[in-house]
Amino acid sequence: MDWLTKIFSGGAGNIVNSIGDTVDKFVLTGEEKEKFKLQMEELLQKRDSEVEQTIRSELGAKERVLVAELSQGDNYTKRARPTVVYMGLVFIFLQTILLPFIKGIAGWEFVIPELPTGFWAGWSGIVGTWAIGRSFEKVGIQNNFTRTITGSLPVSRLLK
């Protein structure tokens, strides 16, 4: 997690210097200016520390959820991607074939809702990842990448 510290460590100094240049226009004495810079730097470092702690706790929570999902005995968690793929196909079938067919046969006037852009982005990402993983798995290519996609990578290896 040193990358978090690297991200936040340089930010406070640059902001304090730019604020100090602005303060030069309003504060006349050097002592008041330095006192203000120190207080601002302290406040910014405190804020950066709080942001870093929040990010760390969020990553820790995500890690615990991932470990719990991968270590449970329920195989449905590992089959969730195919379920999303099949449900996406059902939605696409409803929108492009079934609802237009009903509309044409029955003569009803109703608007067929469009599938949102978020659906297409998420669904195509899941389908692509699942298809690549299954293709590699069937060909027999085994490495950390394919095991991550297919869900067969041991939890201990995934978290390192």
The residues spanned by each domain of the chain are 2-71, 75-158
**Which pair of tokens denotes residue 140?**
């027999």
pLDDT at 93: 94
**What interhelical angle do 2-24 and 30-71 show, nearest 10?**
160
Residue 107 has pLDDT above 90, yes or no: no
Q: Can you tell me the mean pLDDT for 136-160?
A: 62
Distance of CA 39 to the CA centre of its chain: 35
Determine the Cα–Cα distance for residues 123 and 98; give it in Å rounded to an integer. Answer: 20
Q: Which of 15-19, 98-102, 104-108, 117-121 has the lowest mean pLDDT?
A: 15-19
Residue 59 has pLDDT above 80, yes or no: yes
Determine the Cα–Cα distance for residues 155 and 78; give it in Å rounded to an integer. Answer: 13
- Count of CB atoms within 10 A of residue 115's CB? 14
